[in-house]
Structure 1
Amino acid sequence: MLFFSFFKTLVDHEVTVELKNEISLRGTLKSVDQYLNIKLDDVSVVEDVRWPHLSSTRNMFIRGSVVRYVHLPAAAVDTALLEDATRREAASAAAKAKQG
């Protein structure tokens, strides 16, 4: 759940989504859900010469199962907050493991 919450903080930021079929799309993140289904606005294809049929698409819904990577803008990532949340989640998992 940590990463779902993290991605929600990036709404309205520009991201690049690389798909499993080698297509990379750049656009403004409008929504994301727990399955990594992504809605992008103002979409552009990174290699528009290779994928010209996608150049006319401006808004896109991407199913999470086809996503390989999501490239994030470095300035939008609060690394201290992310590290702290990761530590808390690891501690919680360790505590659960000790209990049962």
Structure 2
Amino acid sequence: MTHFISHLWEWSIYCPVLETKGKYRVIIRRGYRVNMLFYSFFKSLVGKDVVVELKNDLSICGTLHSVDQYLNIKLTDISVTDPEKYPHMLSVKNCFIRGSVVRYVQLPADEVDTQLLQDAARKEAMQQKQ
């Protein structure tokens, strides 16, 4: 099943939320108001386990410690999904991830209120039209 957040017409973009294997994958597109929407969303998920997939195909599992307005992410208790490919990451326990290198963020399905997220995106789009 796939969930889509409403189009944010001012930028002619959309931010889909894809459900895969009981987890949601959020695809982030850039833009100040979009970032603030996702910043608020991710702040509500602090302390939850997430998987962050980077643009270099590295996937890091960990507990979301913090996120800032640039969507930089701090994870604690991390592990790498493919330790054979990235053995140098085995000794790392905490990390800071620059927001611009994030491709996807996978979230637990039971922690995501897609209706609330869609409503927030819709409201943001309406404010942009005015």
Percent of residue pairs identical: 62
Number of residue pairs the alignment of both structures matches: 95
* Higher share in strand: 2
Unpaired segments of 5 or more residues in structure 2?
1-35
Once the two structures are superposed, residues 43-92 of structure 1 have per-residue CA deviations (whole angstroms, 9 ceiling, x without a partner) of 00000111111011001111112111111111110112111111111111
Per the alignment, residue 27 of structure 2 pairs with none
Structure with more helix by fraction: 1
- 4+ long deviations beyond 4 Å: none
CA distance in 1, matches of 2:40, 2:47: 14
**Structure 2 equivalent of residue 88 of structure 1:** 123
Aligned to 2:112: 77
- TM-score normalised to structure 1 length: 0.90
- The alignment yields a C-alpha RMSD, in angstroms, of 0.9
Q: Find out whether 1:51 has 2:86 as its counterpart.
A: yes
Larger radius of gyration: 1
Listed as ranges, the gaps of 5+ residues in structure 1 are 96-100
* Residues in 2 aligned to 1:79 and 1:53: alpha-carbon distance in whole angstroms: 36
The normalised TM-score by structure 2 is 0.70
Match of 1:29 among 51, 64, 71: 64
Higher relative contact order (CA 8 A, sep 6+): 2
Deviation per CA, 1:7-32: give whole Å up to 9, x if none.
11110010000111111000000000
